[in-house]
Amino acid sequence: MARKSIPSTTLVQTVRHYFGLQQSELAAYLGVTAAFIGHLEAGRKVLPSQVLLRLAPLAAWLPAPDAPASPAAPVPEALPDPEPLKARCDFCQYRAANLRRRLRPLEVHAAQARRWQQVLPALLAAADARTRPWLLRRQEQAARELGPEAVAERLVLRLQAEAFETEAAALATLLTGDEAGRL
């Protein structure tokens, strides 16, 4: 029967997890092998003083063991080059306008179909043999334009357009704030 592993609480393990390092990454920083890090974490080896000295700068950043967990202070990001952001903003605006152009006739047809559905019962009741087939085709067309597939298509286009518009607005705000911060 396999034994359950016991979580390691060694300094090496704590540092590694705090900084999100793989064993091989911490080993490369400390100048040892990944297997040696595994032995240290498992408690099979003792941490040599030379390795402890190389680990100390990272260990100094660990929170105190009895301190309450607090969110890390945000590291200020360097201001990015605005050109890729401007290009993305332009793309989002273009894409949103394109989606709105595709959506417009679909919404017009849906509005017309709703109007037809309101008047068709009365028109069909009074229809003669010549106009009845035309009205029945109009009724089928209205049903298609208000059917679940057409409604879903309009909703998806509307949501996609809104998403691109929201992204473009956020990018424009970021760029405006970014450019104001540089002045």
For residues 90 and 42, state if they share a domain. no
Check whether 181 has a pLDDT greater than 50: no
Would you put residue 29 in left (φ > 0), alpha (ψ -120 to 50) or beta? alpha
Q: Is residue 17 part of a domain?
A: yes
55 and 90 both lie in a single domain: no
94 and 140 together in one domain = yes
Expressed as residue numbers, the domain containing 174 is: 82-182
Helix and strand numbers (H, E) in the chain are 7, 0
Q: How many domains does the chain have?
A: 2
Cβ contact 34:24 at 8 Å: yes
Residue 126 and residue 168 share a domain = yes
Do both 89 and 178 map to the same domain?
A: yes
Count of beta carbons in the 10 Å neighbourhood of residue 122: 9
- pLDDT on residue 81: 84
Q: Are residues 89 and 42 in the same domain?
A: no
Residue 154 forms part of a structural domain? yes
Does a structural domain hold residue 162?
A: yes
pTM above 0.85, yes or no: no
pLDDT at 7 > cutoff 80 = no
137 and 50 share one domain: no
Residue percentage of the chain with pLDDT more than 90: 62
- Among the listed residues 112, 118, 103, 107, the one whose alpha carbon sits nearest the alpha carbon of residue 141: 112
Instruction: Tell me whether residue 65 is in a domain.
Output: no
Could you tell me the CATH number of the domain that includes residue 25? 1.10.260
Q: Which tens digit of pLDDT belongs to each residue from 35-81?
A: 999 999 988 999 999 999 998 898 888 888 776 666 666 665 666 78
Burial annotation 82-97 (CB, 10 A radius, 16+ → b, else e): eeeeeeebeebbebbe
Pair (108, 172) in one structural domain: yes
User: Do residue 37 and residue 98 come from a single domain?
Assistant: no
pLDDT in tens, 127-158: 899 989 999 999 999 999 999 999 999 999 99
Mean pLDDT of all residues in the chain? 87
In a domain, 115, yes or no: yes
**Do residues 22 and 11 lie in contact, with contact meaning Cβ atoms separated by under 8 Å?**
no
pLDDT at 6: 67
Residue 160 amino acid letter: Q
Within this chain, do residues 41 and 115 fall inside the same structural domain, yes or no? no
In a domain, 152, yes or no: yes
First to last CA, the chain: 68
Q: What is the mean pLDDT of residues 72-96?
A: 83
